[in-house]
Amino acid sequence: MDSITREGCKLVLNEVYEGNIKGFLERAEQFFALMPDPDTGRELSEHSPLYASAEVENAETQKQS
């Protein structure tokens, strides 16, 4: 929220702000454009506790094919 509300916004209460909605949306779009693609896979370390879960998931996917 701080990144998106840094300019042209005033805090009303908690995470409620007033200000220029166009500027708010532009900053939000810029901020989220920097985020990585959530569909991009990531290789797991052999030491990761998620490794076993990934093996189970892959086995189930192969069974369904």
Report residue 13's pLDDT band, with 50, 70 and 90 as the boundaries.
very high
pTM of the model: 0.51
Between residues 39 and 57, which one has the greater pLDDT?
A: 39
Burial (CB < 10 A; 0-12, 13-18, 19+), residue 65, is: exposed
Burial (CB < 10 A; 0-12, 13-18, 19+), residue 2, is: exposed
User: For the chain, what is the mean pLDDT?
Assistant: 81
| Beta-sheet pairing, 16-19 with 9-13 | antiparallel
